[in-house]
Amino acid sequence: MGPAILRRILHIDMDAFYASVEQRDDPSLRGRPVVVGGQPDRRGVVAAASYEARRFGVHSAMSMARAVRLCPSLVIVPPDFSKYRSVSTSVFALFRSVTPLVEPLSLDEAYLDVTENAWGEPLGTTVAKRLKEAIRETTELTASAGVAPNKFLAKIASGWRKPNGLTVIPPDRMEGFLQQLPVDALWGVGPVTARKLRSRGIERLVDVRQVAIDELQQAVGSLASWLKQLADGVDDRPVVPDRPSKSAGSENTYTEDLTTLAEILMELTAMAEHAAGWLGRKHLLARTVTIKVRYADFTTITRSHSTPHPTSDRDELVQRARRLVDRTDCGRRPVRLLGVSVHNLVDANAATPGDGKLPWEDALFTAGPSRASSTS
């Protein structure tokens, strides 16, 4: 066997995506602290914060009431997910014009394996620069990119110099980069786990290397072996493009645990709407909706609901996802990860009236070729 091929992995993340779209479309918002989300008097939650708002300590998943206390001049804009999905579609079309190996993580971020690419560029850095420029020209928005030999390092790198950043970690600089990272830079290490690790003297990522595996397991359980690998900069996970349409969905691990039911429901609503948009673009209907919840102690559960009549109706899918929350401890236990997925898919073009297709879907499904999905 020949030597292993050195991969060139990009992680590209749109900057303050929802808020930036709103500032782009309304010039009066530019340069002002802007958040997208619900109203503070209705237990609203921040879905996205502009960089001007972040200077006041405002961030996503924060209650809107607290955000307003931190920044009284805050401008609150209600979310327009259809607009954000449209921009996302344009961005992902750019990604897929360069490589088929695009693994979406959400509407506004993805991994790309550009080891081989349509431009014939030998350097991942050059691909990242060209894509950032293309995103700016196409959407008038900025994105930050990380370039590294694996997904773990590429994702950390993309957040290193936001906004509009580009951070490259070549193989010969990996160790120096790893030495700089705090332990909570590790994927899967949130505030609670970080406190457990620091109580054992594990402050930096590289400190994990010196800890016996059994001691690490006491702190993080089954994550111990995985964290050991990441501490050495090892991550062999491939970039997995959109899988065959047996199911689809999205999930998010939060840097701070979600503690209120309002913010959890808002996150699930956005994910369910995203899934509905994906179904429409793929000309599919779904019979089953599933939510995934991982609590702060890493306990993970799923809850599903199926009907005999498949659908892609956005409102129905959202309501079904929200009702599933009643079968969880959300709002009573801190939540570190949420996900929504759709299963038991049916080709909408072959569906019969008895399959539950709504009249407005006929126009959607015959409007033209499906657009690229941003759902993994």
Distance between CA 281 and CA 285 in Å, rounded? 11
Give the position of tokens 């921009």.
87
Residue 178 one-letter amino acid: L
**Other CB atoms within 10 Å distance of the CB of residue 193:** 22
Is residue 211 a contact partner of residue 200, using CB atoms and an 8 Å limit?
A: yes
List the catalytic residue out of 52, 103, 109, 267.
109
What is the rounded distance in angstroms from the CA atom of residue 313 to the CA atom of residue 311?
A: 6
Q: Is 109 a catalytic residue?
A: yes
For residue 102, what are the contacts with CB-CB under 8 A and spacing of at least 6?
A: 92, 95, 96, 110, 111, 112, 239, 241, 242
Whole-angstrom Cα distance, residue 252 to residue 327? Answer: 20
> Beta-strand (E) ranges in 296-355?
300-311, 335-347
Pinpoint the alpha helices (H) of 210-309.
213-220, 224-231, 261-282
Q: Which residues are catalytic?
A: 109
